[in-house]
Amino acid sequence: MIRAEEFFIEQLISNKIISEKEVQIHKFGIECLVLKLIHCISYLSIAIYLNMLTEFIVIGLVLVPLRRNAGGYHAKTKIGCYLFSCCYVLTILLLLKTVTNHFIWWGAFALSDIIIFLRSPVDNRNKRLDKTEVQHFRKKSQKILIFVNISCFVLILMHLYFIGSLLRCGICATALLMIFPELKEGLS
């Protein structure tokens, strides 16, 4: 993998696309891109293996923008991040497949709404926020949350219960990531 990155950087330099001064930033960018691709391919593989690709995509449409703005748990290392993320995707999809009691999901949804609305954004060591950023990310996460909640209820009115349940699952998955550091600390 490193050889491929080095070769690519050398080609960029030899073709005068980047200068020697820009090498480090481009190496970092390529490394991030490769890691994101590995994550995405792994998540898609898990979803396909479980025959839950649609569920994964719909949940991700909620989880990704909410998590970006609401924050939550971050592993300390790249390997830790990868392993935790894969396990998290697997866990969420398995919960969706096995927990069929709608009252449990509605209760988790209501609790998750409260957690996200009142506690976002969650600060972490990778993303320290100043007061202005806290206000900005709180407002964005609350707007996304309200939009997803309205979407859930519109889908119910349209009798599209399954898609609405996936949106609710995305909200629950986000809230769990927000409180995970406290849960982890409580177990220690």
Q: Which residue has the higher pLDDT, 132 or 10?
A: 132
Q: How many CA atoms lie within 13 A of 154 on its CB side?
A: 7
Domain boundary (34, 49, 64) is at 49
Residue pLDDT, tens place only, 170-180: 999 999 999 98
> In total, how many domains does the chain have?
2
Q: Answer yes or no: is pLDDT of 58 > 90.
A: yes
Answer yes or no: do 138 and 64 share one domain.
Answer: yes
Give 139's contacts (C-beta < 8 A, 6+ positions apart): none
Answer yes or no: do 99 and 167 share one domain.
Answer: yes
Answer yes or no: do 122 and 31 share one domain.
Answer: no
Answer yes or no: do 3 and 79 share one domain.
Answer: no
Answer yes or no: do 19 and 63 share one domain.
Answer: no
Answer yes or no: do 9 and 72 share one domain.
Answer: no
Domain boundary (30, 49, 68) is at 49
Residue 2's pLDDT band (cuts 50, 70, 90): low
- The parent domain of residue 64 ranges over 54-187
Q: What is the mean pLDDT of residues 51-61?
A: 96
Answer yes or no: do 63 and 142 share one domain.
Answer: yes
Answer yes or no: do 25 and 83 share one domain.
Answer: no
pLDDT given at position 173:
96
Q: At what angle do helices 161-187 and 78-98 cross, to 10 degrees?
A: 130
Answer yes or no: do 88 and 40 share one domain.
Answer: no
Query: Burial of 136 by CB count in 10 Å (0-12 exposed, 13-18 middle, 19+ buried)?
Result: middle
Q: What is the mean pLDDT of residues 160-167?
A: 94
Residue pLDDT, tens place only, 69-93: 988 888 888 899 899 999 999 999 9
Answer yes or no: do 38 and 66 share one domain.
Answer: no
Give a three-class secondary structure readout of the chain: CHHHHHHHHHHHHHCCCCCHHHHHHHHHHHHHHHHHHHHHHHHHHHHHHCCCHHHHHHHHHHHHHHHHHHECCCCCCHHHHHHHHHHHHHHHHHHHHHCCCHHHHHHHHHHHHHHHHHHCCECECCECCCHHHHHHHHHHHHHHHHHHHHHHHHHHHCCCHHHHHHHHHHHHHHHHHHHHHHHHHHHC
Gap between the Cα atoms of 112 and 149, Å rounded:
11
Answer yes or no: do 182 and 130 share one domain.
Answer: yes
pLDDT given at position 102:
87
pTM score of the predicted model: 0.84
Tokens linked to 73? 């748990």
Answer yes or no: do 74 and 165 share one domain.
Answer: yes
Domain boundary (49, 66, 89) is at 49
